[in-house]
Amino acid sequence: MKRKDFMLKMLAALPATSIAMNLTELKTLAGSLEATPKMPVLFLGHGSPMNAIEENKFVQGFRKISNGIESPKAILCISAHWETQGTKVTAMQNPRTIHDFGGFPKTLYEVQYPAPGNPQLAKEVSEISKTSGIQLDESWGLDHGAWSVIKHMYPQADVPVIQLSLDYAKTPQQHYELAKELTPLRSKGILIVGSGNLVHNLGAIDWRKLNESYAFDWAKEASAKMNRFILNGDHQNLIAYKKHGKAFELAIPTPEHYLPLLYVLALQQKNETVYLFNDEPLGGSLTMTSVRIG
């Protein structure tokens, strides 16, 4: 007998007064424990919030990649735009759409992405780590690092989405080790998405070339090395990014847009394929490079 059927049969045998959940909730709980074929993992270069409402080759790349993935039971997103003290996971049933940016057209602020949350999955994630205490969070929601890209992949907003925060006190190695503990989720129908940008220096952008495929020499150097390390499975050189000199220092002036990559790489299994897409620079100091593993 399958584990799911066994659980439902046992629970159905209990007196009605002893069951605090309705049948739908029981099925959700049992389904969350059911094994599935292993899901791929993605790092998405999210770029400008305007990608949420524009039609361009990058959003086309997001749609194309999702078309090649079996519909997930839920999405766990690690976004550059949620940094916290300690690690947190969103646990509300209906996460709000957060417009965490300024100076953009009114139409962008009117966008809503009403994907449901998944409190049961959040609880499972909070209990999965043996090295980090992951706290349940009821106040955040979906920031633009999550919804601006996921909305192109699942425009019906019918796939539950939860977010995992970045603990700003953790070292890159500690982020990588925490991410490894998420591995079992890949075999439970959960699509894990890291959202950031590999080269991300807003202070150096040439705004005249923001919509052009253009990179400064240091951005070209850093991007080429990052891509080579990713394709070669050289995770240690990507974890120790601070040792690679001036080009990497300019490419990663602050770590939050880079760290989601480490969560994705940590989930790579032996002999899994690695594929780069949307691999283009913008404005001199930004790259949209995205990665699929598996």
Half-sphere exposure of 51 (CA within 13 A, CB side): 29
* Structure confidence at residue 236 (pLDDT): 98
Pull the structure tokens for residue 105.
């057209």
* Structure confidence at residue 205 (pLDDT): 96
Domain with CATH 3.40.830.10 in the chain: 35-293
From CA 39, how far away is CA 221, in angstroms rounded?
32
Q: At what angle do helices 23-32 and 119-126 cross, to 10 degrees?
A: 40
From CA 274, how far away is CA 232, in angstroms rounded?
9
* Structure confidence at residue 34 (pLDDT): 72
As assigned by CATH, the class of the 35-293 domain is alpha beta
* Structure confidence at residue 24 (pLDDT): 37
Taking the CA atoms of residue 130, residue 135, residue 136 and residue 138 in that order, the dihedral angle to the nearest 10 degrees is: -160
* Structure confidence at residue 21 (pLDDT): 36
From CA 242, how far away is CA 236, in angstroms rounded?
11
* Structure confidence at residue 35 (pLDDT): 82
How high is the mean pLDDT in each 10-residue block of the chain (294 residues)?
A: 43 42 39 76 97 97 97 98 98 98 96 98 96 95 98 98 98 98 98 98 95 96 98 98 98 98 97 97 98 98
Q: List, edge to edge, every strand of the sheet that includes 190-196.
A: 134-137, 87-90, 161-167, 74-84, 190-196, 41-45, 290-293, 274-277
Contact 39/191 with Cβ under 8 angstroms? Answer: yes
From CA 42, how far away is CA 196, in angstroms rounded?
11
* Structure confidence at residue 2 (pLDDT): 42
Whole-number Cα distances in Å, 185 to 87, 159, 179, 229, 248 = 17, 15, 11, 25, 32
